Amino acid sequence: MTAENSIYQQVREYLAYLRLPAIADRLAPALQAAARDSTDYTTFLAELLKAEVDAVEERRLQGRQRFSKLPARRTLDQFDFTAQPSLDRRLIEDLATLRFIEDKANVLAIGPPGTGKTMLATILGHRAIEAGYRVYYTTAADLVARTSRAALDGRWTNTMRFWNGPQLLIIDELGYLPMPGEAASHLFQVISRRYEHGSIVLTTNRGIADWGSIFEDTTVAAAILDRLLHHASVLAITGDSYRMRRHRDAINAIRPALSTRSQGGEFP
């Protein structure tokens, strides 16, 4: 083995020991390119270090994505604003800058089922992950189910610490199931602990005036709303359901054909 090969192997061993796999993978082609292009030492080192930094950032991004439990990635370009004219597009675009997370503020999205609330929450969640924030997605029903189990198992403190950890917590589908008594108290505890410490995006199919019926306790409803709305942007969506609109459009598209066939005697 030549001295040059010996040094190369030693460098590979150092890289393995330091756990720098991206540099190890790039080392041989980088040496060849540097010799061919007469690259200076600083540039050579910078290119190798950049490869490792990019690999580390990609691993961290994938880790944040796995942790988040978010639905499939969606982008703002995929959201049909023309279908929801009640939405303030400038407000959505401002929220997409993620300043609300830095301000530890909240977003409350209110509207009927199928109007894009979850999609908007998902868009904001994925943008936050890509910006380096820790995000976690849950439905309201799953959240209270987990807190209830934790209370029974003696894991309340650790579970509350978990819910307080992400910089952005997305709570989806509040209002589809009632939350009486203990469930309402658990949700209140999560929201209260995050108040002015971390952001929440919450989606609901129930207007604010109806929250007393969700929790069967107007006092708890008022306390939750007080903390959510103190620093919050409210998105009120009043448009049609995307699914219902597609169904209606499909019916309208085939109606002329059905009418023609009926007139031709093909239908009784």
d(CA 32, CA 46): 16
d(CA 253, CA 186): 48
- Residues in Cβ contact with 107 at an 8 Å cutoff, skipping those fewer than 6 apart: 95, 100, 121, 124, 199, 200, 201, 202, 232, 233, 234, 235
Q: What is the pLDDT of residue 94?
A: 97
d(CA 150, CA 13): 46
d(CA 192, CA 169): 13
Map residue 121 onto helix, strand or coil.
helix
Map residue 72 onto helix, strand or coil.
coil
d(CA 62, CA 165): 18
Q: What is the pLDDT of residue 267?
A: 39
Single out the residue of 166, 196, 193 nearest to residue 65, CA to CA.
Answer: 166
pTM listed for this prediction: 0.84
CB atoms within 10 A of CB 17: 8
Stretches in the chain below the pLDDT threshold 70: 1, 239-268
- pLDDT tens, position by position, 212-257: 889 888 889 999 999 999 999 999 998 666 555 554 554 455 555 5
Residue 77 corresponds to which amino acid?
A: D
- Residues in Cβ contact with 202 at an 8 Å cutoff, skipping those fewer than 6 apart: 106, 107, 108, 109, 140, 170, 171, 172, 174, 228
Q: What is the pLDDT of residue 255?
A: 53
Q: What is the pLDDT of residue 258?
A: 45
